[in-house]
Structure formats: structure tokens, C-alpha cells
Structure 1
Amino acid sequence: MNSKVGGKVTSEEVLLKRQQHLQRQRDVITYRMKKLAAKQEEITKKTNAVKEKIRKKYEDMKRVLDEDLRITLTQLDTEHEATEKLVEERIEDCYQLTQELNQELDNLRALVKKDTQDIDIQNAETEKRVSETLKLTDPDLIQMDEFKNEQLLSITINLLLFIRSQVPVTKKLFQSYAADVVLDADTAHPKLIISPEGDSATYTDTWQDVPETPSRFDNTLNVISKQGFSEGRQYWEVEVSGKTYWELGLTYPGIPRQGREEDCWLGRGKESWCVEYFNGNYAAWHSGVQHELPLLAGKQFTRIGVYCSFPGGLVCFLGADTMTPLHCFCAGTFADTLYQALCPGHDNEGTNWKSLKICDASRSAPVL
């Protein structure tokens, strides 16, 4: 058994101290491992959080793009359907004429026939290894590049904002065709108040003291623009929130102004095209033919947009808030200059006193 000799430390004591020292070092390393595990968990948690935020932004982008695709294709479909309808009508016209010619030929034939040293040395080596290990494994030396991750997240957010600013693509395109529309007070029905700027029309029960001229509507609550257009493409928007009845569209200058004939109403004659909203229901009119729009029933829009293409012979109506196509007419070729037209409608039992206001169609409506 080893013991102290001449004050010297026995081997047992040396071994005990060595054991205690190693245990302390082991405890330090074990604690370090716990700290490292905690760091690992922290890093994983933060990384997953960043990944989840970015994933959600990409999902948002996909939803935005999918919706824009749907809207764009629907717009093309409505234009196609309108054009196709016109072609079918023309085919029918040809068919009817062919029938008439066949009849005439039959008549002619009839005429022809009938015609990652020792104990002291070992301790030193161990101390060195432990020191190196502790230095190497300092959790503070392990850092996430959180700034970079925040930048990455910021870029994806900016990308989403950029995409949203560019869609719907039909909105960006139609805004480039925005027209300055000024209403012509001289054409307004006497129960309509036209703002001095010519950008709104309001119904009133009081008959205004205005001159009677041939250009004024005297039976229907209509007013048309001062300037017409006869080429290119035009787009305009009207604020319709808070109203229960309105009509708006385009017309030739020759639309009847006086009298009680239905041809004076927008869309009732061949001279005009319109979309009408009455108590939650929408309908499109042209040439006296009503096109009911049941899929839009109950939907409300802040603005309604009207797009006209002279090259395409198109008159298209849209819910401008989301660029939702409402209806599209194809005239093939327009026969005359077109004027913007609107009708704020009567009081409708006290629910329809707000004005119809023409908006700056080159800018999107503010998000409320």
C-alpha cells in the first residue's frame, strides 16, 4: 500500500487527484456538450423558422400567379366567345342568304321546266487537449449568419411585393390605355348634377334649370363624355361603391336623346353597349338583347372598368378591383366614333343617392 514518505505524495494520492481532475474535466466537457446540443436546437429552430417564412412567401407567389393566370385566361375566353359569337352570326347570315338563293334557283328551274515520461507529462498533455477542445468547442464561436437569412427573407418578400405590383397583367396593360374622361353637362338629363370638373354624375329629385338642346337626354338618366374616340384602345373606370343601381358603357353619337323609346336607354339599341347593376344583379345589354350574368350575382365591386379596342372591335366590362371579367361584346368593326356613357340611376327607394365618379384609371384603387 502506498503512503507518504519524507513528506512526499504517495502514488494513491497522485492517482486520486488525477481521477478527480479527469472527472472535473469530464464534467466540463459534458456541460459543453449540453451547451452545444442547445445551440444545435437553437440553430435548427431558427433555420426552420426562416424556411417556413420563405415557403409561405413562395406559396403566396404561386397563389398570386395562379389567380392571375385564371383571370388572364378568362379575359381571353370572354373576348374569344364574343368574337366567335359574331362569326356564328355572320355564318347564319350567309346561311340564310344561301337558302334564299337556293329558293331563287329552284324558282328559275321551275320556270325553265315549267319552266471534430509520465503523469506530469500526461497531465500537461491532457490539460492541453482539454484547453484546445474547450477553445475549439466554444459555442460562441458558432454563429448563424442571421443577417444573411434576414436578407434572404427580405428579398423573397420584396419579390412577392414586386410580383403583386405587376399583376393582374391585364390591369397593367389596361392602365396604359387609360383615357381622360370628362362628362358633357350639356348632354345630361335635367335630374342629373354634373360636377364642375365633369368627373361625376349625381341623381337628384329636382329638375335642373338647364337649356333644352337636341344633345340632352330628356327621358333616360344618361350623360355622355365631351370627347369621343375612333381609333386605338381606351380604358376608363367608374367608382360604383355604395350604389344599388347604375348603368355604364359606350355609345355612338347617334343614340336617340329625346322621347320615350327604349332605344334612348344604354344598350337597348344598336348604337350602345352597357352593363347594368340593379339590387345585386348584373346584366349586359346591346341592341335590346339582355345577357344575364348569374355567376356575378351578389358580388360587389368598388370600381367597374370599361375597355374598348377599335382594332379588335371589342367592348369589355370588368370588376376593376380584381380585374374580374364581367362581359365582352365584339362588334367586329365599329361604325362610328364612340363616347363614354353612364347612368347613375334613380333613388331606388332611398338606397341609390351616391354619385357615379370617374376615376384615374392609370392608378390602382387604394387598398382599404
Structure 2
Amino acid sequence: MASSSMTGVCADELQCIVCFELYEEPITLPCGHSFCKVCIKQHWESREEATVCDCPNCREVFPIKPKCQKNVALAKLVEKTKLVPGVNAEKTKLVPGVNEEKMKLTSVVNVEERRCTEHGKPIQLFCKDDESLMCVMCLVGQHKNHEVVPVEIVHDELKGILAEKCPELSKSKQHLESQLHQLKREVEQTQDSGKGTVDRMEEKRLALYQYVDKSVDLMKSSVIKRQNKKIFLLQKQMDKVKEQLNSLHETNSTLKAALQDLETISFLQGYKDVIKRLESVSHFQTLKMAQPTVLDFSKEEKNLGSFIELHENFLKNIMKPVELQMSELDQSSLRSLYGRTPSLDPNTAHPWVKISQDLRTATRTRTDNHHPKHPDRFDRLAQVLSSESFSSGRHYWEVEVRSSRSWGIGICLNSMGRKGGGNECMLGGNPESWCLVKYENKYSTWHNNQRTLLSVLGDPERFGFLLDCAEGEFTCFGDSRVLHVFRGNFLDPVKPAIGVYRHVGDSVRFCSF
């Protein structure tokens, strides 16, 4: 702080609180506060109500705009102070069209933001306890005994903190760019794989056409062969009947001629011949024709109908909406597409289950956590449900178990029992719940009190769960693979659930995405 021996006045006392520089053409308002003439002018012009004139220091409002007459005595003190070595006497000059606007903005910022709103003094300090800006007079108020540092120091500290975030931000950016590049490559690979399949399908289309044509031609040939065979046999019968008919015609003519022969000797000579003819054709009259039969081609038609039905069913399956198989997605994709972060419902937690403040972690304790009584609370089993329930769509979440040696994780209907320690309240012990369990270093799944042992590689610290309500599937993931798939009716609302049964201090946490 520079002072003048000639004036006995500190330079800071001759500083305008708007621009924080030595007065330039100082004027004094009726309230007694002084400012640079240009500063007070710019301050008034920056107000929303141009007709309102107030003091930037004490906020007194003047009904009539005060006359901005130069304070000669104050101006002389400023001039004398400028002559003192070490006093910065430079002041920004206004450049028409440029600095005027800048001055206008600076005036607003200095007055409204760089001055303590409570004491009207320049902001010079920063309270670390409250993380707020303050002036020197605030030290005796609400910031008393707080950790207070000059704004320049905290400015450097906070800039350092932000600078430390840069590498982390850059690393995250590089990670996301790498993920994007990997996804693009997977898109290209998927397109290439599909292209080959489509080409091969086109080849099979031609083979299928040939197969259909050959199948129909064979069935048509079978029909025609049977027709021709029967027609051939019928034709032979017709030829034989015609032959017999001709014999009858000849015999009939001979008989008529004999009957018309009136000469005795001639009749007797031809009588035996007529009798022989009659005997040769007498058996024709005893022949009995079978009833006409029509060939039955229903077998061929049925075979062709079965062939068509087979392909109709095949086409129906093809025409069904094609859904991406969940087994074709890795857990990273499931997080991105269907990721959820369930929150625990404190009203369901057993008294020995402590819930973290962020409602993500359930910890087994030895003593009662004094949860208030609630009808949804488990009273005998160390279990807790989530606040969320799902009855449609797909939902994927992950659970971290690195801090627990024994646990149960799954889903249950809201109707599952809560009071008592029997199977009706145990996750997986009833028809209303489905659960993945770790107990004595063995993994298994439970539903309706039926156990299925699992083979799990190592000791995973995180497990994933995918609920597909429409398909009725609840899939458990571990060590980057599918461990088990429950199937059931999940159109009724189900809740994610956690059990921390055995060891005090064990905790299970819903992971955040």
C-alpha cells in the first residue's frame, strides 16, 4: 500500500471502487461517496432503468440525477499522489466504439460481482469452509475461525486441481474414441459376414427351386404312370371284349342263316357247325363285369400338401420379426443398451442390514440399525429389495460382491413373504423368487426351493443380470459368460433383491453406469 508524505493519504483511499484505480475526474454524490466521473456515468447507463440513479457503494437512490461536478479538492489529492514513486497512476482511456462498451461491462462486473454484497468492500478473500468469496470485513462475521486465504492463492490452487483433471479427461476421451473405433470395426465385420451369408442364400435359392421342381415333377410322373398303367389294362380288356363281340356277331349271322335254310339236307349238313359255334360263345354270356373304379390320387396330393405345409411353416418362421439374440451381445453392449442402476429400498431392509446414503450398498451388521417398523420389512432374513420394479422391456444391472463371502442376488415378486424365516420369505425358496447364491465358496441358482449347482471360473468380483420381461427370461452372467437362464412369467412386476446372510461386515453393491 503506497502512501504520500505530502498528503498523508493512502493511495487505496483515493481508489474508485468501480474501476479500482485512482480517481479520474472524481465527483462526489450527495451521499458522500466519490467515483470517477466516467465510472459513475457508465454505471448509471448500465442500469435496467435508465432513470434510476443510485450510489454503487451504499445503494442510496437519488430521485433527481445528481450533478456530476468535479471534486476539485479530491482531484488535487490524486494528482499529488500520482507524483509519489511506486504509485500506479496509469488509467485506461476510453476508445470510442470499443472501450466504451468494454468499460460498460467492466463497470457492471466490478460493481455487481467484485464487491461484497454485505459490506460493499472489494472481494479479496476466499473462505475454504464455505467455498465463498468475501471481503476483509467478513472475517468478523459468519466466517470467523474459518480457513480463509487470498483469492490469488485459491485461484492458483483451483486451477491446479482443474489441471490435474486434464489427464483423466484425456484418458477418458481416448478410451471412448477407442470404443467407438472398435464398434465401427464390429459394424464392418458384421456387414462383411452378412454379405457372405446373403450370397450363399442366393445359391441355395436356385437349389431350392430345382428341388421343388423335381419334387413336383416326380409326383406328377407317379400320377401319369398309374393312369397309363390302368388305361393299358383297360384297353386290353376292351380289345378282348371286342374280339368276343365279333365272334358273337359271326355266330349270330350263322344261326340266322341256318334258320332261314328251308332245304332239309342242306340244314342237316350245317347243323353241327352251328352247334359248335353256339357252344364256343356260350360262356360269353356268363361273364360278369366288375364295378368301374376310379384311381385314388389322394396320396400324391397329400404328399404335395405336406411339402407345401412344411415350407409354409418355414416361411412363417422366417417372416417373424427377427430379434437380436441376447447371447450375441457382450456385457459391455448390454450395459450400453439396457443398463440400470437400482436403488435399495430402506423400508424393506432387515434391521441387521445397513443401507448406504446413496442407496446402492447393503452391509451386514451385528447390531440393530433401528429401522422403523414397516409392513414391507424383512424381519427374520437379512435381505433387502430395490425401490424399482420391472414388468416390461429389457433391464440389465450389475452387482459388486468383492466385499462379501456369502450372498444371494436375484429378483422377486412383490407378493413374496417378508415376515418369518421360512422358504416363503427366502430368495429362491419359493415360486415368487429367482436367485443366484454364493455359499461356502460354491455357486448355485435357486427357484421354488430347487437348487442347480453352477461351475464358475475363479471368484468373480462382479455379476451381471439381464431381465427380459417379454421373453420371460432372467439371465445371470459371471466371468464374462452366461451362467444360468431362469424362465418364468415376468410380466408381473418384479424387484431386484439382495441378501447378505452370514458374515458381519459383508457388503453387496449395485454398480453405477
Q: Given the two structures, how large is their TM-score scaled by the length of structure 2?
A: 0.35
Q: Given the two structures, how large is their TM-score scaled by the length of structure 1?
A: 0.49
Bigger RCO (CA 8 Å, 6+ sep)? 1
